[in-house]
Amino acid sequence: MENDRLTRGAICFGAFELDLRAGELRKQGVKIKLQEQPFQILAMLLANPGQVVTREELRNRLWPSDTFVDFDHSLNKAINKLRESLGDSAENPRFVETLPRRGYRFLASIDGAQEAISKRGSPIDSIAVFALANPNPDPDMEYLAVGIPGSIIHSLSQIPGLRVIAWNSVAQNRDREEDPLTIGRSVGARAVLIGRIWQRGNKLRLHVDLLDTANGEELWGNQYDRDLTEVFSVQDEISREVSQRLRLKMTGEAESRLKKRYTENIEAYQLFVRARRWCEKRSAEGFRRGTEYLSQAIQMDPNYALAHAELAQCISVPCYYGSVDPNVAYPKARVAALRALEIDLNLAEGHEVLATILKNYDWNWTGAEKEYRRAIELNPNYATAHYHYSYLLAELGRFEEAIREATEALSRDPMSALLNAGLAFVLLLARKLDQCIEQALTATEVDPNMTLCYWILGTAYEQQGKYRDAIETHEKCIALGGAVAFSKVFIGRAYAKSGEREKAWDVLRELQELSKTRYVPSIASAIFYDSLIEKDLAIEALQRACENRETNLVFLKVWPHFDNLRDDPRFQEIERRVGLRPTSVQNCDKSVRNFSGRRGKGSSINET
């Protein structure tokens, strides 16, 4: 809301004076030309210094619903004019700060006041939490350097109205000179939490600082010297102190959720943190190690709800990569997800992974969307929920919503290679190939070993006719431990599309040999046959895939590799069975809805 500043007439900030009555902006007494809309934007910002003025508020004030203009273009133009008049910049703002997709904030002190914006008494509504600096190369300490901030993020995410952003600047980014305050401003955070961690035997030393991004002033800082076994109490203390320093009002329920611990077993916790780091690699080895660590964590603490939910993720996600039989993986994942929700019905992670199972295995699109929305309602800062929900939206052809949701996921954890790749994948499905490639390359910069980046990048190259680039990229994916079957199929497609059909058939023969020793999904052969215009063989492979409830059938409606098949009535029937085409009668085999963990018929890629 605007306050009495609008009635004072003149407002001073720095060398400037805004005269509201005269409608003039002056610098050291000299009038500066400023058009009406930039003037009104400045007035709104000055009426709410330090507070976010949203894009919607600016639209309602300056571009009402009966005004027909390109709002985004008009707003950007007005902001640029305002910055030009103030001698300001978007990169290093002194006056007007941009909060991407949200709005703008006035940073400087006004009316000659010198005290920091953070001392005006208003709560701080956003915080970026950084990984702890770790001078010790010990891998165990690296896990804690990420795991402790991760737990603090999880706790702070329970506070209504607080936007929590993860900035996992670790590993390959360790040697970069990065200013947390600059990064905090760039992601729209009003405060940053940074720190360092040391270990001496069984003793831990943590030093943490909470900084105001407006002026770099320390809001709070502390040093903790504790036994390793006291790490939970340290995390609790930090979360509690941060919430108090941000001046956030919390209900009793919110305070209870802030203090909630999911395990009291330090060894189980360490295993959980390691497992998450391995699963994020999206490689066969990563999923295997992640599953092992999580199983051990659950043995140590059977009531560790977060570990059950993460185990469900680790078991089910490999189905996307065609490396495990969905009829084996999803029933196990369902048991783990339901166990997590049995322990804690309000666990966002449990609802999110259950949603993925409902979508990918049950083909229950309505139920899945409901569960994704529930997960986001419980924890709006849970990036994975936004990420996987963006897939559902893209698979249904709701691309604008999907891109918005994938972007929202990335805004919660900008240095996540997985979330950068996730946005690239949604852009791929939306056929925005140039943007997809740019985003996928960004993901490889964040983590050059994240296999999904190369799968997406190679597919985009193929769609652009850059077949040699596509082949090299998919070969790199395999070398990093990525999905072998699909990567080989994509290589075969690139050979076929470039006219090297014999090399394409050689790839198929490699897959036939591979299927003798490991699971290979039938949909892989469908993708291959499509590239050779072998329509009947492609449809037959898709029919087998449908019978076996293979995961990547959820992409039928939008995956570019099926464009040649879309007009075929047999393909449309498969779409109906998967729930991607309207039908009055569900044709799915009802027996497959009895999820007793039966094994499917497996791959029939040898049938050529």
Gap between the Cα atoms of 150 and 168, Å rounded: 9
Cβ burial, residue 3 (10 Å; 0-12/13-18/19+):
exposed
Q: Which is more confident, 113 or 445?
A: 445
Mean pLDDT of 395-406: 95
Structure tokens at 392: 């559902």
| C-alpha dihedral sign at 555, 558, 564, 568 | positive
* 4-114 fold: Arc Repressor Mutant, subunit A (1.10.10)
* 126-261 fold: Rossmann fold (3.40.50)
* pLDDT at 248 (0 to 100): 64
Mean pLDDT of 194-223: 84
Read off the pLDDT of residues 476-500 as tens digits, 9 standing for 90 and up: 999 988 888 889 999 999 999 999 9
For residue 86, the one-letter residue type is: L
Read off the pLDDT of residues 250-296 as tens digits, 9 standing for 90 and up: 556 666 666 678 888 989 998 998 998 888 877 788 899 999 999 99
Gap between the Cα atoms of 209 and 217, Å rounded: 10
Gap between the Cα atoms of 496 and 530, Å rounded: 10
**Residue with tokens 């009555």, as numbered in its chain:** 21
> What is residue 19's three-state secondary structure?
strand
Mean pLDDT of 422-445: 95
Gap between the Cα atoms of 176 and 183, Å rounded: 13
Mean pLDDT of 416-442: 94
> What is residue 503's three-state secondary structure?
helix
Of 16-20, 43-47, 172-176, the poorest mean pLDDT is in 172-176
- Segments making up each domain of the chain, as ranges: 4-114, 126-261, 483-608
**Residue with tokens 């995961």, as numbered in its chain:** 551
Gap between the Cα atoms of 236 and 255, Å rounded: 11
pTM of the predicted structure, to 2 decimals: 0.72
Give 282's DSSP letter.
Answer: -
For residue 226, the one-letter residue type is: R
Query: Is residue 111 very low, low, confident or very high in pLDDT (cuts 50, 70, 90)?
Result: low
